[in-house]
Amino acid sequence: MPRGGYELVLQVTNSPFNQEQVELLNRLLPMLTDTQRNWLSGYLAAQSCATAAAPGPAAAIAPGPAAQAIEGADAPVAAAPREVTVLFGSQSGNSHGLAKKLVKKLEEQGLKTTLSAMSDFKPNTLKKVQDLLLVVSTHGEGEPPDNAISFYEFLHSKRAPKLDDLRFSVLALGDTSYEFFCQTGKDFDKRLEELGGKRLIPRVDCDVDFEGPAAKWIDEVVKSLSVASATASSPSAAAAPGATAATGAAESAYSRSNPFHAEVLENLNLNGRGSDKETRHLELSLEGSNLQYEPGDSLGVYPENDPRLVDELIAAMGWNADEPVAVPKSGEEIPLREALLRHYEITVLTKPLLEQIAKLAGGSKLQELVAAGDRQELKAYMQGRDLLDLVQDYSLKGVPARELVPLLRKLPARLYSISSSPKATPDEVHITVRSVRYEAHGRDRYGVCSVHLAERVQPGDTLPVFIQRNPNFRLPENPDTPIIMVGPGTGVAPFRAFLAEREEIGAEGKAWLFFGDQHFSTDFLYQLELQRWLKDGVLTRLDVAFSRDTEEKVYVQHRMLEKSRELYQWLEEGAVVYVCGDKKKMANDVHAALTTIIAREGGLSPEAAAEYLNRMQQQKRYQRDVY
């Protein structure tokens, strides 16, 4: 240990010094005694005061501790700058990314900042927070994302403190096609006000096309928190325990708003002949893009609408396919058919859209539906219907394209869990996509992106893509840590990436995969690879459940319960559990199975078992990528 107990290591990122100054100070400071450091502290304080209060060189002032050096001086005391705490709740990474952009802009203005996931923030320090900025998404039917649950529950509990000195603002992310749009953000906003907090600026609710509204909110927040120039040179505060200091890492040239056009190298059907399902394995080239990803991240793909649906819609409205209309954001005018194919969402109905179209339709039955205020009736109508249904059901033919089309949302990207490791396949990214086809309300329906990829994308074509980082779904830093993966159907995608990565780095930790689908003979995705990894020891255990091959349907959670004792032993050894796939059914069933296993094998009550799982989640030993 250095003399005098001095342990702080200065860096350019945690001090106002440049690299050369940091290196000089880091060589000098460890060599100083306590006396020398006290002398230097007083000397610097005295020098500062002397510059303001007395003529002559600072060296003429007698050295000594600060109290002696400035005795009798009327030195102004600068007020300590307020510190800004930025918390994010994120399932897929969007809120995290926006929170980092916010912190970067705040720090450019000289503001002290702390950035933390809500799950890492210590709630008992909330009362000390002065300025709080929340960036949070809503998951499922109005639920907080996994890493926001603990903070959400604390804030809505009786343990939440009064926050009369708090200033706050909330950026909420959501999707207007869901009934409880941005509900988590609304809940946080309301609760912080109830606890006495004062809004810096009003909450902003973002739809799937969130970039513009989010950027405006960030600018308004930064403006409202701007500090005097005297504060701008203050060193950034060290992150609070459990928080991560923000960094301004350079962003990739390609992003959600500037996608890379990746060439399709392979497009294969993974299901065998006779299967009721079609699962596509796509391999895309990232060569020349400089795009980087890790196992656990997702690939964003911008799809095209089905040409059949676009043509039917144009015909039903009596529109001219070549009529020029504006493209979202850019305002550039292109032919109507091309705009509907590539730029506008036409397969999802939302309440705001129906309300706006009803105003155009003047005196129609659609106005009656919207004005009735029957939320359940409106929700029931929107479920499973698209824009073509709307114009046919409510006789909207004749509404001009120039009036209706600008009301539509921008066609959003679809996110798919990446199923490859960059170490195993450099300059490539792989995704696993199940084609969605079904019949509803008397018409055949098609998943926008999945059927686009299955039917209209060939090797040699290009797709506009971007990397969506997901720091909430990561392999353990220690490759010797055992992992348990639960991924039925296309939920196996990130685990193919995990295993490929662990093979490349020579990970020694045990790995257990639970996989399920309908039939062994036709639906065992990546069977040969998984069996090879099992044979080579990359995969320690593989348990499968094919629900239609047995008289009683058997799913992954049943296999987990069958292996209850051994699974609990893995948990006690520190295993990290990963779950990927459907949230509404599978993920809830798996969660219930884990709770049962922990209670049964650990001799715990249901409440204690639930707390065990909560602790695992806090320790990042229970991670979910569910949708």
For residue 604, count CB atoms less than 10 angstroms from its CB and return exposed for 0-12, middle for 13-18, buried for 19 or more: middle
Query: What confidence score (pLDDT) does residue 6 get?
Result: 37
Alpha-carbon span 298 to 275, nearest angstrom: 27
- 172 pLDDT band, cuts 50/70/90, is very high
CA pair distance 460, 467, nearest whole angstrom: 20
- pLDDT band with cut points at 50, 70 and 90 for residue 92: confident
d(CA 140, CA 29): 53
Is it the case that residue 192 has pLDDT exceeding 50?
yes
Distance CA 245, CA 226 (A): 20
Q: What is the largest CA-CA distance in the chain?
A: 96
What would the mean pLDDT of 9-20 be, rounded to a whole number?
Answer: 59
What are the two backbone dihedrals, phi and then psi, of residue 134, each rounded to the nearest 5 degrees?
Answer: -110, 135
Least reliable range by pLDDT among 24-33, 97-106, 525-534, 602-611 = 24-33
Average per-residue pLDDT in the chain? Answer: 86
Beta strand 576-581 pairing with 622-626: parallel
Give me the mean pLDDT over the 402-414 stretch. Answer: 95
pLDDT higher than 70, residue 79: no
DSSP code of 551?
Answer: S
According to DSSP, the residues that pair with 117 across neighbouring strands are 88
Q: What is the 3-state secondary structure (H, E, C) of 11-68?
A: CHHHCCCCHHHHHHHHHHHHHCCHHHHHHHHHHHHHHHHHHHHCCCCHHHCCCCCHHH
pLDDT confidence band for 217 (50 / 70 / 90): very high
Lowest mean pLDDT of 47-56, 364-373, 504-513, 603-612, name the range: 47-56
User: Which residue from 237, 256, 254 is spatially nearest to 245, judged by alpha carbons?
Assistant: 237
pLDDT of residue 80: 55
User: What does the pLDDT read at residue 177?
Assistant: 84
Rounded to an integer, what distance in angstroms lies between the CA atom of residue 389 and that of residue 387? 5
